[in-house]
Each structure stands twice: as C-alpha cells, then as structure tokens.
Amino acid sequence: MSESALTPFQSSAWTTEPVRVASRKSELALVQTHWVMEQLQGYYPGLRLELNTLSTQGDIILDVALAKIGDKGLFTKELEVGLLNGSSDLAVHSLKDLPTRLPEGLVLGAITRREDPLDALVVHERFGGYQLATLPAGTVIGTSSLRRLAQLRHAFPHLQFKDVRGNLNTRLAKLDRGEYDGLILAVAGLKRLGKEDRIHQVLDPGVSLYAVGQGSLGIECRQGDERILSLIQPLADAEATARCRAERAFLRALEGGCQVPIGVHSQVQGDELQLTGMVAQLDGQRLIRDSHRGSLREAEEIGMALAEKLKQQGADEILQAIFAQARS
C-alpha cells in the first residue's frame, strides 16, 4: 500500500502525536474508556494514546441527591473543559450522561455499539425468592434516578424508595450491608464491570423505560477536528447511532435533562425505527406514554414527532411543574 493510500492514522506522519483521551476516574468510566482505547489501538496499531482522568462534579458531591445538584453537565463538564482548552483530544462518556445540547465548539463524534440498555433489579439475599411485583409492602428499593423512581412508584406503589449515591461497587456494598433491600441499576454497567451475576431480574420496558442513550458510549471531540473525527469513525455503530439520535432528539424537544422522569425504548425492524417515550410525575400518579415509527433515515424526526405527541397529552405541564418545584 502506498503512503498516499493510507488513512491519516495509518500513516507514520500521523502517529507521532499522541491522542489524549479524557475519562472520569470511576471504575466503570475507566473500563469503558479502556475499551475505546483498545478498539482504537486495534484499528491503528501505531497510534499513541494517553489517558487523562478527571473527577467531575457528580463524582465529588456524593451526599446530595442528583436531582438537587442539577444536571447541566454533571458528569461531563470537566471533560469538556479539557477538550476546549486543548488538554484532551477526545472524551469518552456514558451517553446517558451527555446533555443533548453540547457546548459551542464540541460535537458528538461517534456513538458506539450498544450494550443491553434495560434496567435491572438487584436484591439482598433475603429477597432472592421475589420478583419486583411480588416484593412485600414496604420493601426499600434504592435508586438515584427520578426516571426509575417515577415509573416504579406508578407500577408498584406498595414499595418504598430511597436515594442511593456512589459508584456501582459502593451501591452494591450498601445493599449487602442491609441498608437497602434492593437496587435498580443498569444492565449495561453491571455487565461491563463483570457483575452480571448480581442481576436478579431484568425489567421489562413495559415497566421501566430506560434512560436516553443508556448502554451506548458517546465520544465527544472538538468541532472541525478532522484528525480525531476520522480516527473515531470505525467505532461508530449505525444502528445504535440511529436509535440514540432519535432518543436524544426526543429528550431535546422536551427540553429535559438526564435528571427528569423521561424514559425511552427504541427498536429497529428492517429499515424502520420505533421509539416509545414516557414522561411522568415524580410521585408516579400520572404517566404519559406513546410511540412513533418511521424510516431509519429520519431518526431525529421520529424523536421530535414523539415529543410533540406527548406534549399534546400534557407532558409540558408535567415537566414545568417539576422544573418549578426544583427552583423553589
């Protein structure tokens, strides 16, 4: 192969400068980032990679519920600052943490293949004989997600819910000490950390729609940085990209963030994409849910159309009440 036929990162002229990869310091974030780096190294054996780890506001403030901190870049801002000031070249995020509106000058360069996006119930050993629907009244379930909280309150009003913070291992330790009877966690995170054996029950989407982008990784970089944009394209997964683009357009049209009770479920069938979405009151008393289907090539239009459907059914009213409560 001639030098002119090489891609930029196969050419020795492009492998002299290291690519600096930003990541949160949590165990799950590092597992995900190392996976991205390994994939890149496989595509470009001569590539030099440097890891830049940072703590975000969401990592530091652990004694306050996420909803009370706010969600504007709670787990992403510090990584984005590094991209903008040039100390990092790309940042690896859990896509569910990445706001749908990015800072000026940054873009979502690639969405990776998706791990199972569903939610899971993990229980203390004394509840091993139960499913979520059969747990005794008053059973204490831990979750830091308003989305999960609203849906579970709606479906299982006999259960009690308690906020839980910390990384996955910290949460599991609290469960095992008996501080909680059960936890609701992402299947994807449990699998990536080798904790799949802790999954007691995978929650059907009919009970718990998942977070926008859950299960996929988003790779963020500077707008117009063709060197990095070219580098990460082999990591982009077409189906996951279409699904997540629809989900993010839905969330953006509702002007919601990752800490509001908005959930989704997307499916690809042939060249069609079906998106189901949900908006709920925090107490679970009112829950609006609907679906929209369209061409896979029009993913964002599907998301916006579904958001409009839910707005016509009262989603705006629910969200405005939640935002007003948060400001008070």
Least confident piece of the model among 9-13, 83-87, 154-158, 191-195: 9-13
**183 and 66 within one domain:** no
CATH code of the domain covering residue 135: 3.40.190.10
Is 0.85 topped by the overall pTM? yes
Same domain, 140 and 226: no
Report the pLDDT value the prediction gives residue 76, as an integer from 0 to 100.
80
Q: Are residues 102 and 125 in the same domain?
A: no
Cα–Cα dist 6/13, whole Å: 10
Q: Which residue has the higher pLDDT, 161 or 3?
A: 161
Residue 237 a catalytic site member: no
Residues 325, 264 share a domain: yes
Domain span at residue 323 reads 237-328
Residues 228 and 108 in one domain: yes
Q: Do 125 and 175 belong together in one domain?
A: yes
Q: So what's the pLDDT on residue 61?
A: 44
pLDDT tens-digit series, residues 110-120: 999 999 999 99
What pLDDT is attached to residue 57?
53
Domain membership of residue 208 (yes or no) is no
Quick one: pLDDT band at residue 167, thresholds 50, 70, 90? confident
User: Which residue did the predictor score with more confidence, 136 or 71?
Assistant: 136
Pair 166, 272 in one domain: no
pLDDT score recorded for residue 191: 97
- Whole-angstrom distance between the N-terminal and C-terminal Cα of the chain? 65
Please report the pLDDT score of residue 68 as a whole number. Answer: 46
Instruction: Kindly report, residue by residue over 244-286, the tens digit of the pLDDT.
Output: 999 999 999 998 665 689 999 999 999 999 999 999 999 999 9
Asked if residue 291 belongs to a domain, the reply is yes
Residue-wise pLDDT for 13-24, tens only, equals 455 689 999 999
Do 100 and 90 share a structural domain? yes
The answer to whether 129 and 59 are in contact (CB under 8 A) is no
Q: Are residues 74 and 34 in the same domain?
A: yes
pLDDT for position 257: 63
207 belongs to a structural domain = no
CB 227 within 8 A of CB 278: no
Do 249 and 323 lie in one domain? The reply is yes
pLDDT digits 0-9 by tens, 175-185: 999 999 999 99
Q: Kindly tell me if the per-residue pLDDT of 1 is higher than 80.
A: no
Cα–Cα dist 82/71, whole Å: 19
User: Does residue 273 fall inside a structural domain?
Assistant: yes
Query: From residue 211, how far is each of 97, 146, 291 by CA, in Å?
Result: 9, 10, 16
How far, in Å, CA of 99 to CA of 251, rounded? 9
How many whole angstroms separate alpha carbon 223 and alpha carbon 226? 8
Burial-class residue 3 by CB neighbours within 10 Å (0-12, 13-18, 19+). exposed
**Long-range contacts from 316-319, C-beta under 8 angstroms, 24+ separation:** 316/254, 318/279, 318/280, 318/281, 318/286, 318/288, 319/254, 319/255, 319/256, 319/260, 319/279
Q: Are 322 and 302 in contact (CB under 8 A)?
A: no
Provide the token pair at 244. Answer: 């997540």
Identify the active-site residue in 71, 89, 97, 181: 97
List pLDDT tens digits, range 196-236: 999 999 999 999 999 999 999 999 999 999 999 999 999 99
Least confident range from 54-58, 70-74, 79-83: namely: 70-74
210 is a domain residue: no
Count structural domains, the chain: 3
Q: Two tokens at 161?
A: 């819910």
Query: Which tens digits make up the pLDDT trace of 308-325?
Result: 999 999 999 999 888 877
My answer on whether 274 and 293 are in the same domain is yes
Backbone angles phi, psi at 325, to 5 degrees: -65, -40
Of 258 and 52, the structure prediction assigns the larger pLDDT to: 52
Structural tokens at position 160 = 């009690």
Give domain status of residue 209, yes or no. no
Note whether 41 and 182 are same-domain residues. no
pLDDT for 62 equals 45
Average pLDDT, the chain: 89
